Amino acid sequence: MNDNSNINFKHKKDFINSGLSEETLGKAGYRSVDGQTVDDGVTPTGRKKTKFISGYWQVPVICPFTKKLHYYRKKLDQPLIHPKTKKETFYVSPANSAPHLYFSKQLNWDDVLPCDSIVLTEGEKKADKYIQDTGKPAVALS
């Protein structure tokens, strides 16, 4: 079994409620990152400004063939709120990153592809849950 000491209690509870096992979390590479206060420039009067950045969990989005990391997909603990539309955003990827399919690190895709069928899911956790429960390949649209 993989070490899951880098997944905090709140996130682990969320994953377990989604049906993901601790073994799956480790194999797929899920991690928690705590919130933090960071510098945010200076005020017009020269005082230092800070802001709080929400904690989040992340999962690696990789190329199944080269094993290259494209980026980490993140789910924020506190949403970003668009100033005009007030729309909340919980899931984020790096700015200007091209969309990628999520291929879970649970599977060795060299052994899986080509195959007769692959299940498509909406979201990384659903793909990982399907693989966990069936042992069959699933790819997520994020």
Question: Strand runs (DSSP E) across 1-142, as ranges?
Answer: 31-33, 36-42, 48-53, 56-62, 69-81, 88-92, 102-103, 119-122, 138-141
135, 129 Cβ separation under 8 angstroms = no
| 30: its two tokens | 């899920």
Q: What is the pLDDT of residue 3?
A: 52
| Cα 97 to Cα 70: distance, rounded to the nearest angstrom | 8
3-class DSSP assignment, residue 94: coil
| Whole-number average pLDDT of the chain | 89
In this predicted structure, the answer to whether residue 120 has a pLDDT above a threshold of 80 is yes
| 17: its two tokens | 């409620």
| Cα 65 to Cα 108: distance, rounded to the nearest angstrom | 9
| 82: its two tokens | 């668009």
In this predicted structure, the answer to whether residue 104 has a pLDDT above a threshold of 80 is yes
* pLDDT tier at 2, thresholds 50, 70, 90: very low
| Cα 87 to Cα 82: distance, rounded to the nearest angstrom | 5
